[in-house]
Amino acid sequence: MSGRERRPDGDSPATAAIRTTHDSPAAAERIAAAVAPDNTAEMTTRVEDDAVVTEITRESTSGLHSTVDDYVVNLRVAAQLTNDTTQSNHE
């Protein structure tokens, strides 16, 4: 993220950066592509080598907590579904 803006009351917004590493840069790209469509305006997702990095900014810590919880669930599902060793039942 480029800088952090202050709220009108002077408090900084709540922020979190979540970095997960994966088997390869290609796997990280697939996972980032799977989770990015669910990003809100307060979220950015990028790939750095074999890592997916998502930064989240919310006005409150409770809002941040909820967003991080949702993101982690989505990330876990995306990682499971994009795993190279996953086998399909479809022919």
Count CA within 13 A, CB hemisphere, residue 9: 5
- The model carries a pTM of 0.77
pLDDT tens track for 43-54: 999 999 999 999
Residue 91 has pLDDT above 70, yes or no: no
| pLDDT on residue 4 | 45
Paired strand residues for 52: 20, 47
Residue 67 has pLDDT above 80, yes or no: yes
Give all domains of the chain, ordered by start, each with its CATH number.
14-81 (3.30.310.50)
Q: Are strands 43-48 and 51-58 parallel, antiparallel or unpaired?
A: antiparallel
Residue 6 has pLDDT above 50, yes or no: no
Mean pLDDT of all residues in the chain? 85
